[in-house]
Amino acid sequence: MKEFVLIFRRSEKSDLKPSPEQMRERMDWLAGIAAQNKLADKGRTLSVSNAKTAKPGNVVTDGPYAEIKEFVSGFIVVKAETIDEATEFAKANPILKKGGTVEVREVITFPVESQD
Amino acid sequence: MKEKTDPHDELLPNLFRSEYARITAVISRCFSLEHFETAEDIASETFLKAAEVWSVNGVPENPRAWLYTVAKNKAKDYLKRVSIFEMKVKGEIELEESYRTESLSQSERDIVFTEQAIADSQLAMIFAVCNPANSTEAQISLALQILCGFSIEQIANAFLAKTETIKKRLLRARTNLRNDNFRIDVLKEDAVQSRVDVVLRTLYLLFNEGYSSQSGNRLISKDLCLEAIRLTLVLTDNPLTNTPEVNALLALMCYQASRLDARTDDTGQMILFEQQDRSLWNQEFIDKGIYYLVNACSGNEISKYHLEAAIAYWHTTPADNDKWEHILQLYNQLIITEYSPATALNRTFALAKVCGNERGIREAELVALYGNHYYHALLGYLYADIDVDKSIAHYEEAISSTRSMAEKKNLAKELERLTRVKTGS
C-alpha cells in the first residue's frame, strides 16, 4: 500500500466559511475514506487570511498566492494501491462542486535499511 | 453447610471467573514481587481444592470467604517454605536474612481480602501488567488474562484473532514482564500518565467482551460488564486517575449497561435494538451515564470515549428527525480519530439511516470486511428491501462466520423471513 497526499486548492475567496451543509458533506467524505481504513493522516486545514509568502531578497508578501490566483486550503494523506485509486477518492471530494481542485501526489519513500 | 451440590454446576465456574483474578492480584501484591505466577498457582490450587472438598462436603455457607481463607493459608505456607529455604541456604548472610524475615512477616500481615484491598490490588496490578515493554495488544491480552481471569479463547474473541496467536502472544508478554523486573508498586503519577491509555482500552475491551459476549449467557455477560464498571469506578475514586477520559469511558459503560436486561430474552436470545422493550431499560444506569458524561466535559479534551459515550447517549433518547444525523456525525469523528472494523460498520449503518440504504450499500461494500459476520449482517439488512437474493446470500455468509449461537439464531430468524418473502408464502 502506497501513500498519496491529496492537496485541496480553491480559487475563489467568496464564502470562505463553509456552510454547515458543506462541512457535513466533507465530513461524510473524509469518514468514508477512514471507514475503508485508508486514511493515513487526516491532515490540516490552512488559513487563508493569516498567510504570508517569503520570497528571495528579503521580500515578504501578504497572502498565500503564487502567480496564479489559487491557494492551497488543506491536505490529507490517504493509503491506496495505485494513484488511480487515490484519484477516485479525490474525485468524490465536495470541493470540486465549488470550483476547487484536488491534486494527488504519491509520497516518495526513500529506501530504509531493513532491520530484519 | 447447605445441601450437597454438584460442584460442576454453574457456581464454581462463575466463582472462578470473578475470584481467580482477585485472589491472584491480592496475593501478588502482598508478595511484592515478580512471582505473580506463584500467585496464579496458589489461586489455581485453591479452586482445585474447592472442587474436591465441595463435592464431598457440599458448598460452604460463604463460598467466597472459604476461597479467600484457603488462598491465604496456601500463601502463608508458601512464604514459610521460602523463608526456611532462605534461612538454611543464605543464613550466613545475617543482614540480608533479617531483612527478608522482616519483609516476609510484613507480607503475611498484609494478606487481607477486604473490598478495599481487592480494589487497590487490582488497580496496582493492572498498571503493573500494562507495561510499555510489551506491545499494546500484548499488554491488553495479558491484563485480560491476569486481572480479569479471561480464558485464551475469550481473549481471542475480543481481538477477533486465532487462539494460537493469542497463546504465543501471552507467552512472549510474560517473558518480557519477567525480563523487565515486573513489580507491583504503589501507583505514581508518571506510571499513570504513561499507562492510562492502555488501562482504559483494557477496561473498554473487558466491557465489550461482556456486552457482546459470544457465550450468549446473560448472567456471565452482565457479570463481565459490571466487573468492568467496578474497575473503572476504582479509577474515578483515585484522584490520580479521575480524568475526563475515565469519566467518559464510565459514562459509555453506564449507557450501554442500561440496556443489558432489554437486549436478551429469557432464553438468552438477542433482541435487536429497535425491537427492545424500552421499559426494561435501567433508568438508574442512564442517570449515572449522564452524571459521568457531565463530569467528562470538564476539560477541552475529546477522546474516543467521549464520542462513543455521546453516541450511546443518543441511543437512549427517543427517535426524532435529527437523532441519526447526530449519531452519524459522531461516528464520522470517531472513525477519523481511530479506525476499527466495528466503528466502520456502525458508521455505515448510521449513514444508511440518514442517506438511505442505497448509499449505505455503496459505502458498506467499500468497507470490504469479507468474513466478518457483522459486515455480512449489515449488507443483508441493507439489501433486504432492495435485492432479496443478495440479502439472503449475505445472511447465509453471516451465519456461517459467527461463532455465537445467540447471533446465529437471530440471523436465521431473519433469513427465514426473507426466504418466505422470496417464495411469496
What is the spatial distance between Cα A32 and Cα A16, in angstroms, rounded to a whole number? 24
Q: Is 70 exceeded by the pLDDT of residue B287?
A: yes
Residues 6+ apart with CB under 8 A from B155: B141, B144, B145, B166, B170
The pLDDT value given to residue B109: 53
Q: At the fourth CATH level, which superfamily is domain B334-425?
A: Tetratricopeptide repeat domain (1.25.40.10)
The pLDDT value given to residue B329: 96
Is A36–B367 a contact, with Cβ atoms under 8 angstroms apart? yes
The pLDDT value given to residue B101: 46
The pLDDT value given to residue B90: 56
Which residues in chain B have their CB less than 8 angstroms from residue A36's CB? 344, 366-368
The fraction of chain A above a pLDDT of 90, given in percent, is 50
The pLDDT value given to residue A66: 57
Q: Quote the DSSP letter at residue B318.
A: P
Angle, helix B115-129 to helix B218-237, in steps of 10 degrees:
90
**Which is more confident, A84 or B238?**
A84
The pLDDT value given to residue A47: 82
**Which is more confident, A80 or B21?**
A80
The pLDDT value given to residue B96: 47
Q: What is the average per-residue pLDDT within B153-174?
A: 84
Q: What is the average per-residue pLDDT within A55-60?
A: 86
The pLDDT value given to residue B97: 44
The pLDDT value given to residue B167: 93
Flag the least confident range among A69-73, B46-50, B173-177.
A69-73
The dihedral formed by the CA atoms of B351, B357, B358 and B361, expressed in degrees to the nearest 10 = 70
Q: Is 90 exceeded by the pLDDT of residue B393?
A: yes
Please report the DSSP string for B246-303 in residue order: HHHHHHHHHHHHTTTTTSB-TTS-B--GGG--GGGS-HHHHHHHHHHHHHHTTSS---
| A81 interfacial to chain B (CB closer than 8 Å) | no
Burial of A62 from C-beta contacts in 10 A (0-12 / 13-18 / 19+): exposed
What is the spatial distance between Cα B414 and Cα B268, in angstroms, rounded to a whole number? 17
Q: Is B309 in contact with B275 (CB distance < 8 Å)?
A: no
Which residues in chain A have their CB less than 8 angstroms from residue B374's CB? none
Q: What is the average per-residue pLDDT within B192-215?
A: 79
Q: Is B244 in contact with B296 (CB distance < 8 Å)?
A: yes
Q: Is B255 in contact with B286 (CB distance < 8 Å)?
A: yes
Nearest to B336 among A24, A36, A39 (CB): A39
Phi, psi of B361, deg, nearest 5? -60, -45
Q: What is the average per-residue pLDDT within B61-78?
A: 92
**Chain A interface mutation, best of B332, B333, B346, highest count of A Cβ atoms under 10 Å:** B332
Does the complex come out with an ipTM higher than 0.95?
no
Phi, psi of A7, deg, nearest 5? -110, 120
What are the domain boundaries of chain B?
A: 1-113, 115-229, 243-317, 334-425
Is A35–B347 a contact, with Cβ atoms under 8 angstroms apart? yes
The domains of chain A, with CATH numbers, are 2-106 (3.30.70.1060)
| B363 interfacial to chain A (CB closer than 8 Å) | yes
Q: Is 50 exceeded by the pLDDT of residue B99?
A: no
Flag the least confident range among B8-17, B49-58, B348-357.
B8-17
Across B289-367, where does the E strand assignment appear?
A: none
Q: What is the average per-residue pLDDT within A32-48?
A: 92
Enter the pTM of the model: 0.75
Which residues in chain A have their CB less than 8 angstroms from residue B348's CB? 35
What is the spatial distance between Cα B158 and Cα B209, in angstroms, rounded to a whole number? 6
CA A95 to chain centroid:
10
Closest of B54, B29, B28, B60 to residue B41, by C-alpha: B28
β-pair partners for A78: A4, A39
The pLDDT value given to residue B86: 65
The pLDDT value given to residue B28: 81
Q: Is B379 in contact with B390 (CB distance < 8 Å)?
A: yes
